[in-house]
Structure 1
């Protein structure tokens, strides 16, 4: 059995080249048709943007969907439209992309970091209430890696305290919790169509909601403050141009046709890979069975224990695994609150109270995930075959054999 690691000149365990994005001539033709029409932008004379919005709203089981420039903008528009004021507090997890917290700053509000669950890496409902104050206005749970948060618990807390819930579903297109599509459970759900996402057009974002008043306000904010029935040069809110183009909408409509089949493939592979990894000492897949009815596996995440790999650091392990041909990554190097922008409060002109201080914030589980545990396998690899999953597991075993020999 070959124990020479690829990093040291050995043969790679995995040789599959995982394609992303996935497209065919139908996508090319659809975009070409829009290009030839000469109607590329928005206002949407062709109705292509509106069609995608309606289709995605129906897909999520929501009344309304509104596209916008990207997922970060989607979160900010949703929060602003909910009527927050400078200094209001918003509860967010520390283990997520920085935009979940930075958009709170951009809305002149204060991110309050609440730790994550150790077995799912999602916001821990049991720790939320202790963080609620008179200034708390909203909660932004993140369905991290495509695994649904405990939405029953979060919504119950929100209802008890009169808080709004914005689902960050940037990883969760097609995911579901107790039969309901992720994004459709809170007061608003936000999606990203950035190039790494399970549904993508290079860039773009979208918000779903059942609240007509909220939808109208968000729509105005993304369209330079214009309102339904108003004039083109009549502006009611301090909005900006955050619209997407007809080219993006066309590409998204074509990609949406593949989403369910791709999600099923990722989920089947994720379950199989967990079965393969569970017996390996020092490797613990994140747990499922918490109410999710569809896990989108935007990331496949497992917890790594270096004591079972002769002290090999998480960073070294992830690099060694990637060298074996597994599209693997060590994930976030630190929780959001330890990023320089938060430690130094480099918030420019935003109206954040002077007493806000992130230098003493500590979320134990998030820190452990960043520094010691969490290893990611990227979503396009989860569109491989069962044989690919077997090779991923074999690559991990190979590393363990090599470093413990």
Structure 2
């Protein structure tokens, strides 16, 4: 009975909405609207939604500009007190001892790996369902990425498959709390402790997410965050490293400022103590971050509330499998809302057509990532002079590497089943979530028509 009830709900709400907008009163006119609403927008029908989604990033001129203007007018734009204030507040927010800001999340991971003494000849076990930055960071250290397949229910690294990937060269695990949903950190930390491995968390999409009431990024040896423009805590570009290890954080600080001793910012009469680079954040970026931080808790709670509601609305639709959280997850941050699409329940309608039909109904969506374990950027690294000096020829056999790093569940998520909705959509109302669910139901009900027309 559920699909019938959902179709009735869809018809009623769509008719009332269309009638209210058009000012229609006659029964005959409404009958025509029902027919139009039932037709997929991709086939010329009326879209479920025409309203805009909440804009991102958010900016409140009245509340946000005072600090930014103060920084700009001061003329102190390089790293100084405002950056320090953001670092202090971010560390306090996470309940961690230390925070260091850097230019972006990618370089946060690079710095954390380098100062964890990861380098040429080492292997780093890593999630296979992630953004390319995670893998690029490993390659920048000279280490070898070792891909672990995904748990399709959670979209996370499958912790049960980690130990099979450990060798005598394994030095670290780099789990990714992808989409803002925490990885299974209980199992990951147990494996790491058993095998004496470093854990650097890629929490670049997981601000305020928690596993067993501990913030993502604070569970392993170090955690890394991104504040890029699309992120839930945006400042245009930016990143951070957090840890409770003072000696490690002192090294990270030196590394991010040319290798000068901890606390030194660019004095020309001081000798560098390690081989570093320049990754310092600017004052106005930190000022933007401070304004956004004031809203982060409330926005995170709203995303979580809407995500749970939307999940409950779409789960009964045949062929739709919403995200699953591990039992230890006490909060997710929902940088993205993921679900799996099973075409067999939609009369074989390809995912690409489902996405196009959903977009035509006014629902922004994406197929997400592409597989990373077989792409030419890896071969380019393996062909480089440094890799050829650090590794044996057999270790750099690209075809053999691909064969060893097969991730069939990740391939399915990337190529056939994964669907994303962006975090700003979750800042809307329950009615907005209903629009998403109704659009998916509408496509399901009309899958055969869509298949015939788009074949």
Please indicate, yes or no, whether the TM-score normalized by the shorter chain is above 0.5: yes
Q: Cα gap change, 1:375/1:350 in structure 2, threshold over 3 Å: closer, same or farther?
A: farther
Distance (whole Å) between structure 2 residues aligned to residue 37 and residue 284 of structure 1: 52
Distance (whole Å) between structure 2 residues aligned to residue 111 and residue 256 of structure 1: 33
How far apart are 1:11 and its partner, in Å? 2.1
Give the structure 1 partner of residue 378 of structure 2.
342
Question: In the alignment, which of 380, 385, 394 is matched to residue 429 of structure 2?
Answer: 385
Question: In the alignment, which of 352, 359, 376 is matched to residue 322 of structure 1?
Answer: 359
**Unpaired runs of 5+ in structure 1?**
none
Distance (whole Å) between structure 1 residues aligned to residue 444 and residue 237 of structure 2: 39
Any idea what the Cα deviations from partners look like across 1:309-344, whole Å, max 9, x if unmatched? Answer: 122211221222122111210111x31112221255
Asked whether 1:208 is paired with 2:229, we answer: no
Give the structure 2 partner of residue 88 of structure 1.
122
Any idea what the Cα deviations from partners look like across 1:34-72, whole Å, max 9, x if unmatched? Answer: 111111112x1xx10001001000111100000001000
How far apart are 1:304 and its partner, in Å? 0.3
Distance (whole Å) between structure 2 residues aligned to residue 345 and residue 239 of structure 1: 22
The answer to whether the Cα contact below 8 Å between 2:184 and 2:326 also exists between their aligned partners in 1 is no
Any idea what the Cα deviations from partners look like across 1:272-316, whole Å, max 9, x if unmatched? Answer: 011001100000101124211111111100010011112221122
Question: 3-state SS of the aligned residue for 2:157?
Answer: coil
Asked whether 1:147 is paired with 2:184, we answer: no
The answer to whether the Cα contact below 8 Å between 2:335 and 2:422 also exists between their aligned partners in 1 is yes
Q: Cα gap change, 1:289/1:140 in structure 2, threshold over 3 Å: closer, same or farther?
A: closer
How far apart are 1:150 and its partner, in Å? 0.9
The answer to whether the Cα contact below 8 Å between 1:105 and 1:350 also exists between their aligned partners in 2 is no
Report the structure number with the largest CA radius of gyration: 2
The answer to whether the Cα contact below 8 Å between 1:106 and 1:350 also exists between their aligned partners in 2 is no
How far apart are 1:392 and its partner, in Å? 0.1
Give the structure 2 partner of residue 243 of structure 1.
280
The answer to whether the Cα contact below 8 Å between 1:105 and 1:347 also exists between their aligned partners in 2 is no
Give the TM-score taking structure 1 as reference length: 0.96
Greater mean alpha carbon deviation, residues 144-153 or residues 356-365 = 356-365
Question: In the alignment, which of 67, 77, 95 is matched to residue 101 of structure 2?
Answer: 67
Give the structure 2 partner of residue 166 of structure 1.
200
Give the structure 1 partner of residue 300 of structure 2.
263
Question: In the alignment, which of 368, 389, 402 is matched to residue 359 of structure 1?
Answer: 402
1:1-400 maps to which residues of 2 (within 5 A)? 1=34, 2-17=37-52, 18-25=54-61, 26-42=63-79, 44=80, 47-228=81-262, 232-233=267-268, 234-332=271-369, 334-343=370-379, 345=381, 348-351=384-387, 353=391, 354=393, 355-356=395-396, 357=398, 358-360=401-403, 361-400=405-444
Any idea what the Cα deviations from partners look like across 1:94-143, whole Å, max 9, x if unmatched? Answer: 11001111111100000000111121011111100110011100001011
Q: Cα gap change, 1:188/1:270 in structure 2, threshold over 3 Å: closer, same or farther?
A: same
Question: 3-state SS of the aligned residue for 2:321?
Answer: strand
Give the TM-score taking structure 2 as reference length: 0.85
Distance (whole Å) between structure 1 residues aligned to residue 334 and residue 209 of structure 2: 9
Question: 3-state SS of the aligned residue for 1:11?
Answer: coil
Give the structure 1 partner of residue 452 of structure 2.
none
Question: 3-state SS of the aligned residue for 2:150?
Answer: coil
More helix by share: 2
Distance (whole Å) between structure 2 residues aligned to residue 53 and residue 15 of structure 1: 41
Give the total of aligned pairs.
401
Q: Cα gap change, 1:347/1:393 in structure 2, threshold over 3 Å: closer, same or farther?
A: farther
How far apart are 1:3 and its partner, in Å? 2.7
Q: Cα gap change, 1:89/1:27 in structure 2, threshold over 3 Å: closer, same or farther?
A: same
Distance (whole Å) between structure 1 residues aligned to residue 51 and residue 201 of structure 2: 35
**Unpaired runs of 5+ in structure 2?**
1-33, 450-455
How far apart are 1:30 and its partner, in Å? 1.7
The answer to whether the Cα contact below 8 Å between 2:139 and 2:381 also exists between their aligned partners in 1 is no
